Amino acid sequence: MQIAVVPDVQGNLMALSSAIAEIEKLKESGRKIEKIYILGLLGYFPYPKEVVELVKNSKTISAVRGKFDHLIARWSEIDEIEDFPDYIIKTVEWNWRELGKLRAWLRNELPAFLVENFGNNRFLFVYGDPFNPVNGEILPKKPTSYYEQFTSPLKYDLIVVSSKEPFIAETRHGKIVCAGSIVRQTPTFAVIDTKTTDVSFFDFEFNRKSVEDRIKEKGLPKELIEILYRGY
């Protein structure tokens, strides 16, 4: 059995739809991909309702909260704004308003992490740092000792997270797979064999002009257009 991991969607329906289409092509070519996991749903891009509805109504897609999902879910309760740029504050507030009744699903149904057992292998799916899923991040190109601080105490065969770039870190205690991000100049997703834990990364593209037009239509900050084309 294989699974696909689509990381850091950030409310980008065009990118998510393209990733799903590429996954379907892989299935048609013989890959036995049975489920899709999404690490982080909402954020910079202007399709929050559509992304939530797609995931909410799917029987083959599971998702965990990303940093912006946590922030959007509790937006009405925040008394002090964290040190975010003004354009992010405006974008988060717009997401909160746009979701309407779907805010309840985001708050109550979208988990901070998922644990799945695949035969003898136990996987943890989380957006970033498992010990700080809201604000933490696992970084690439670090010594093995850095990654062992996550794999040693948690006792999972595979920890699957999002990151600014895709990479694999192997330790004595388990493997960390960072599936990359949609918010890159070249967006990526990963396919994982649940028995062998072998990982393949795939690049894909999507219609950025449609997303740009939607950002303008909704009157969202122009900084989002720069992120759309240049990535983080």
Cα distances (angstroms) measured from residue 115 to each of 77, 91, 125, 183: 29, 31, 6, 25
CATH number for the domain spanning 193: value is: 3.60.21.10
Is residue 44 one of the residues assigned to a domain?
yes
Convert the pLDDT of each residue in 116-135 to its tens digit: 999 999 999 999 999 987 77
Is residue 130 one of the residues assigned to a domain?
no
Would you state the structure tokens that stand for residue 48, as one six-digit string?
A: 């929050």
- Contact yes or no for 86/64 (Cβ under 8 A): no
For the chain, what is the domain count?
A: 1
> Looking at residue 184, what DSSP letter applies?
S
Is residue 136 one of the residues assigned to a domain?
no
| pTM of the shown model | 0.96
Is residue 95 one of the residues assigned to a domain?
yes
Q: Can you give the pLDDT at residue 135?
A: 79
Convert the pLDDT of each residue in 131-170 to its tens digit: 987 778 999 999 999 999 999 999 899 999 998 899 999 9
Is residue 147 one of the residues assigned to a domain?
no
Q: What is the pLDDT along the chain (232 residues), one digit of tens a residue?
A: 999 999 999 999 999 999 999 999 999 999 999 999 999 999 999 999 999 999 999 999 999 999 999 999 988 887 666 678 999 999 999 999 999 999 999 999 999 999 999 999 999 999 999 998 777 899 999 999 999 999 999 989 999 999 889 999 999 999 999 999 999 989 999 999 999 999 999 999 999 999 999 999 999 999 999 999 998 8
Q: Can you give the pLDDT at residue 47?
A: 98
Structural domain boundaries enclosing 27:
2-111+178-230
